[in-house]
């Protein structure tokens, strides 16, 4: 059974460019999470979706960040325009349980390492 799939695995771009990160959750999972991880700030939740609907985007740092989930098997995180301080590892995770409760265990994808020059 495939886990969470993310692409690209590495992205190097120049300041001001648009960056799009992609995620395919585990089939049957109804919650999807986007995280950012840096040495300074650790693992931060940016946004999460339940049944394709954004539930909490309070972690999105600013309007340059946007996320969509057009269907149950695909989500994107877009940064436009990108800045050097956006450099980080971005993880997508999915969970088989969401707002209805349960254990909420999350399974992480391999991450996208973003470098903005």
Binding footprint of another protein on the chain (CB under 8 A): 31, 33, 42-43, 45, 48, 50, 55-56, 91, 98-99, 101-111
Q: Which is nearer to another protein, 63 or 105 (CB)?
A: 105
Going by C-alpha positions, the residue among 42, 92, 86 that lies closest to residue 65 is 86
Q: Which is nearer to another protein, 17 or 27 (CB)?
A: 27
CB of 50 to another protein, least distance (A): 6
Residue holding tokens 């989930």? 69
Q: Which is nearer to another protein, 14 or 56 (CB)?
A: 56
Helix (H, G, I), strand (E, B) or coil at 32: strand
Residue holding tokens 């969509």? 68
């Amino acid at each position: 059974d495939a886990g969470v799939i993310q692409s690209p695995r590495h992205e190097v771009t120049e300041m001001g460019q648009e960056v799009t990160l992609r995620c395919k959750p585990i089939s049957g999972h109804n919650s999807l999470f986007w995280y950012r991880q840096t040495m300074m700030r650790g693992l931060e939740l940016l946004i999460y979706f339940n049944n394709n609907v954004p539930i909490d985007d309070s972690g999105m740092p600013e309007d340059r960040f946007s996320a969509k989930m057009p269907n149950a098997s695909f989500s994107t995180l877009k940064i436009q325009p990108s800045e050097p301080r956006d450099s980080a590892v971005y993880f997508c995770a999915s969970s088989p349980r969401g707002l209805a409760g349960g254990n909420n265990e999350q399974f992480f994808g391999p991450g996208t390492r973003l470098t903005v020059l």
